[in-house]
Amino acid sequence: MSRFGTGALGRVVRSGVGRRRVQTLVIAVATMMAVASAVVAGSLMVATSAPFDHAFAEQRGAHITAQFDPAKASTAQLKDTGQLDGVTANAGPFPSTTIHPTGPGGGHFPALTLVGRSDPHGDVDDLDLKSGRWAAKPGEIVVSASFAGPDIKPGFTMKASDAVDSPTLTVVGLAVSASKTADVWATPGQVSALASEDSPVTSQMLYRFDSAGTKEQITADRKKLAAAVPAEALLGTESWLDTKRAADQGAAATVPFLIAFGVLGIVMSVIIVGSVVSGAVGTSLRRIGILKAIGFTPREVVRAYVAQALIPAGVGIALGVVMGNLLAVPLLEDTESVYGTVSLSVAWWVDLVVPAAALLIVGIAALAPALRAGRLRTVEAIAVGRAPRTGRGQWAHRAAGRLPLPRAVTYGLASPVAHPVRTAAMLLAVAFGTVAATFAVGLTASLNAVGDAQDPEDHAAVTVISGQPNAGPVGPRPAEGEAETPAADPARVRAVIEAQAGTASCYGKTQEEVTVAGLSGPSRASLYQGDSRPGSYEMISGHWITGAGQVVVSSRFLEKTGTKVGDTVRVTLRKHTETLRIVGEAFDTSGGELEIHADLADFPAAKPGAFLIDLKPGVSAAEYADQLAAKVRPLGGDVMANSSSEQENMILILNAMAALLTLMLVSVAGLGVLNSVVLDTRERVHDLGVCKALGMSPRQTVSLVLASVAGIGVLGGLVGVPAGFALHGFVLPVMGHAAGTDLPPSVLEVYETEQLVLLGLAGIAIALLGALLPAGWAARTRTATALRTE
C-alpha cells in the first residue's frame, strides 16, 4: 500500500479528515491559536529580553563614554587614544557642557548634558533620529526622545538658563542614543557659546573595545585611557554596563509573565490534541477493526491516525504563524516606543521554531492514542465497535436519579462517568481555561495598580507652578506677546490657593539634587511642604513622611546603601546637612535614578516650586484653574488643570498581551469541550432517539447535553480559580524582583471575593458555551433519524 497520497492509506487519512469535520476544525483552530499566541509571546520575549542589546548593537554604542579636560589634553592627543590596543572604534572629541534650561512659564528642567555634534552619525553612537532633523545652526537643539511628550516636540522652545539674556533654544528633532551619551545635542559652536564658569566645556570621547563585557574589563580599559593622556586630564567615564543594567530592568519584568502564558498554551494544546485523537480512536473502533481485516498493519493504522491530526494541525499552524505576525506588529511597535530601540519585527527564527515545535507537540500528543488504535486486535475492535457498552457508570445514574432534579438533567449529570479519560481531558481543558482567566484578571488589576502608583503627584486635580528652580513640571507657554513673569513668592501663592473657593487640600513640592552619605554622585530629593499624603507613594513597608526628620526611600536605595527602615542617613543640600530617619520603603518605579522623599522643613534653603491641589466634590478642575490663574499669574506663577494620567506604555502592552492570550486559551478550552460533547452526542444518538420516542422535548434534550458538562464546569472552576490565584501570587513577585523592587499589598492583593466567585462561574460558562452547539444539533435531530443511527 502507498504510504501517502493516492494509495489506500492516503484515502483513509483523507476520509478521516473529511468525515470528522468538527474534530478537524477543533485541531486546526486550537493549533492556530496556540501558534499565534506563541509567535506573539516569543516575539515579545525576544524583543524585550534584551532591548538595550538590540539598540546598542544597531547604533554601535559606546562601551565607555569619557570626559576629558581640554586644557590638559589636546584634540590630537585625544584622537591618538583611538589607536590604543583593544580600541576597535572611537568618535570625538565632541564639546560637552551642562545646561539648566527653563521652559515657558519659568519652570526649570533638571540639569541636562549638552554635546556638540555636526551630525547624528558616526563610527560610535550612531544616533537614531526619531523625528524632525538635526541641529544645523545656533539656537537649534535635538533632544533625547526620552523627554518626548505632548509639549516637548519639534518646535518647542526653552531658555538655556534663567539668566535674563539667556538665548532661546528651539527643538528641531528627537533622537535616541542607546549609550545615553547626552540629553541634548547642538552644533559644536553652540556648546561653546552656552558654556559658563560653573559649567565649562569638556571634551567627550566615545570608545568601543574588543573586551568590555565585564566590570573588570571596563576598569582595565579605563586605566588604558587614563595612562594615555596627561595626568588628571581624564575627568570621568561612564560604562555601558551601568546603562544596560538600568535599561534591562523593565524588560526583565515581562519574561515571567510571558513564560506563564506560554506554559499554559503548550499544556492546553497537548490536552486538546490528545483528547481529540483519543476521541477519534474511541469512536472508530469498528472502523479500525475493518481496516485491519482488509490488510492494514498496526504501523499503518498508527500513521493514519497521527496523519489525521497532523494535516489539520499543519493548516492551523500556517494560519497561526500569519495571525501571530499580524498581532505582533502593533505590540512590537509599542515595545519599540517604550525602549527607544531600533525598528523591531518578528525574529525569523521564531517563525521557524514555533511551527516546528508545534508539529512535534501535536505528533507526540496524537501518538499515544494512535498507538492504542494500532494495538487493538481485529476481532475485538469489530466486536466492541458494534456492541453497545453496558454497565459503565450505572452507579452514577442511580445516584443522580435520587436528586430532586428533572430526569433529563440527572441523566446528563451522570453521563461523564461513562468516558473517564475523555471527561478528564475536558476537565483539564476547562480548568486551564479558568486558570488563564483568573491569572489574567489578577495580572490586569495588578498592572493597573502599578500604573496608579506611578507618579502619584499626577493624581492632583490642579497644579500651580511658582517658577522656583527645580519646580518639576514645566508650565504652559505664555500667550503671544506676553512677557515671562518673575518667580512667584511661594508663601503668597499658597495663601491665594487656600483662600480660593473649592480648595480641599494642597501641598508644596520641589525637587533638588542632594548628596547622600554612602552614595557616589548626586541623588534626587523630592521635598514636600504641608500634608503630602494625597501625593504619597504606595508603601511596601513603614509609612509615608509625617514631619521633619523623616525620609522615605525606594527598594533600590535600601539595597544599594545596605540600610533598612529605621536606620538613619545623612543628606546634604548645598551646604546644609541633616540626619534623617528612614521611616518607609516606597514603591518607586521611576527607573535607575535613586530618589528620596523628605520634608521641606529639613532644608530651609529650598522653596516649593509647585503646589498640587485636590478639589472639593463637584468642583470643575478647568473652571477652578481659570479662576485661580487670574490671581496667581500676576504673582509670577501659573496654573494648569491636570488631565487623567495615562499608564505607562509597557503596562498597556502587558494588558493587551494578557487579554489576547487569555482569549485564545479560553477559546481553545471551549473548543476542547465542543469536540468532546460532539463525540458523546454522536455516540449516544441512538439513546437520544429512544428518549425522544418516549416523549423527551427538544428543550429537555438541550438540558440533558448541557447538564453533561455542567458538573465538569463546576469542578474546573473549583480547581482553576485557586490555581490561577496561586500562579498570580508566584509570578507577580518574580516580575517585581526582576524590575528591581518589591511590590506593595495594593499590587499583590487585588482579588475580591466577588471576583473569585465570578471566576469560578467562568468554568461553568466555558463548559456550557462549548456544549451549546452540539446541544442544539441533538435537539434538532429527528427521532426516526436518531433511531436508525447506531
Q: Which range marks the domain in which residue 19 is found?
A: 15-58+251-387
Residues 481 and 606 in one domain: yes
Does pLDDT of 167 surpass 80?
yes
User: Which of 481-495, 512-526, 527-541, 735-749 is least confident?
Assistant: 481-495
Residue 217 lies in a domain: no
- Predicted confidence at residue 34, as pLDDT, reads 76
- Predicted confidence at residue 243, as pLDDT, reads 75
Cell of 336: 519599540
Residue where one domain finishes, among candidates 159, 182, 211:
211
Does pLDDT of 390 surpass 80?
no
Residues 29 and 52 in one domain: yes
Q: Please give the residue that has the higher pLDDT: either 388 or 519.
A: 519
- Predicted confidence at residue 483, as pLDDT, reads 38
Q: Calculate Rg over the CA atoms of the chain.
A: 34
Does pLDDT of 667 surpass 80?
no
Residues 291 and 264 in one domain: yes
Residues 484 and 433 in one domain: no
Residue 235 lies in a domain: no
Residue where one domain finishes, among candidates 641, 672, 697:
641
- Percentage of the chain modeled with pLDDT above 90: 4
* Cα–Cα distance for residue pair 648/449, rounded to 1 Å: 12
The closest of 448, 279, 273 to 361, measured between CA atoms, is 273
Does pLDDT of 487 surpass 80?
no
Does pLDDT of 714 surpass 80?
yes
Residues 657 and 757 in one domain: yes
pTM above 0.85, yes or no: no
Does pLDDT of 755 surpass 90?
no
Residues 438 and 508 in one domain: no
Residue 704 lies in a domain: yes
Residues 20 and 82 in one domain: no
Distances (CA, A) of 648 to 14, 42, 146, 451: 51, 22, 13, 7
- 108: which DSSP letter? B
63-90: average pLDDT: 89
- Expressed in angstroms, the distance from the first to the final Cα of the chain is 31
- Predicted confidence at residue 616, as pLDDT, reads 86
Q: How confident is the model at residue 479 (pLDDT cuts 50, 70, 90)?
A: very low
- Predicted confidence at residue 95, as pLDDT, reads 92
Residues whose CB falls within 8 Å of the CB of residue 69, separated by 6 or more in sequence, listed in order: 202, 203, 232, 233, 235
Q: How confident is the model at residue 386 (pLDDT cuts 50, 70, 90)?
A: very low
Residue 229 lies in a domain: no
Does pLDDT of 121 surpass 70?
yes
Q: Is the peptide bond before 93 cis (omega within 30 degrees of 0)?
A: yes
Residues 75 and 204 in one domain: yes
561-567: average pLDDT: 84
Angle (CA) 707 712 714, round 5°: 95
Domains held by the chain: number: 4
Residues 327 and 404 in one domain: no
For 435-456, the pLDDT digits (tens) are 888 888 888 888 777 767 766 7
* Cα–Cα distance for residue pair 463/772, rounded to 1 Å: 55
* Cα–Cα distance for residue pair 19/284, rounded to 1 Å: 11
User: Which residue has cell 496608579?
Assistant: 452
For 201-231, the pLDDT digits (tens) are 889 999 999 888 888 888 888 888 988 898 8
Residue 240 lies in a domain: no
174-203: average pLDDT: 85
- Predicted confidence at residue 88, as pLDDT, reads 92
- Predicted confidence at residue 185, as pLDDT, reads 92
Listed ranges 288-302, 325-339, 420-434; the one with the highest mean pLDDT:
420-434
19-32: average pLDDT: 76
Q: How confident is the model at residue 458 (pLDDT cuts 50, 70, 90)?
A: low
Angle (CA) 606 612 617, round 5°: 155
Q: How confident is the model at residue 645 (pLDDT cuts 50, 70, 90)?
A: very low
* Cα–Cα distance for residue pair 437/665, rounded to 1 Å: 9
Residues 531 and 623 in one domain: yes
The closest of 313, 227, 307 to 273, measured between CA atoms, is 313
* Cα–Cα distance for residue pair 173/186, rounded to 1 Å: 10
* Cα–Cα distance for residue pair 748/35, rounded to 1 Å: 31
Distances (CA, A) of 106 to 143, 463, 604, 641: 19, 14, 22, 17
Secondary structure class of 356 (helix, strand, coil)? helix
Residues 675 and 537 in one domain: no
Residue 237 lies in a domain: no
Q: Measure CA 10 to chain center.
A: 46
* Cα–Cα distance for residue pair 484/490, rounded to 1 Å: 17
Does pLDDT of 468 surpass 60?
no
For 298-344, the pLDDT digits (tens) are 788 778 777 877 888 888 889 888 888 887 776 666 555 544 444 45
Residues 564 and 618 in one domain: yes
Residue where one domain finishes, among candidates 587, 612, 641:
641
Residue 231 lies in a domain: no
Residue 770 lies in a domain: yes
- Predicted confidence at residue 518, as pLDDT, reads 67
Q: Please give the residue that has the higher pLDDT: either 392 or 416.
A: 416
Question: Length of the chain in residues, anyone?
Answer: 790
**140-144 and 168-176: which strand pairing?**
parallel
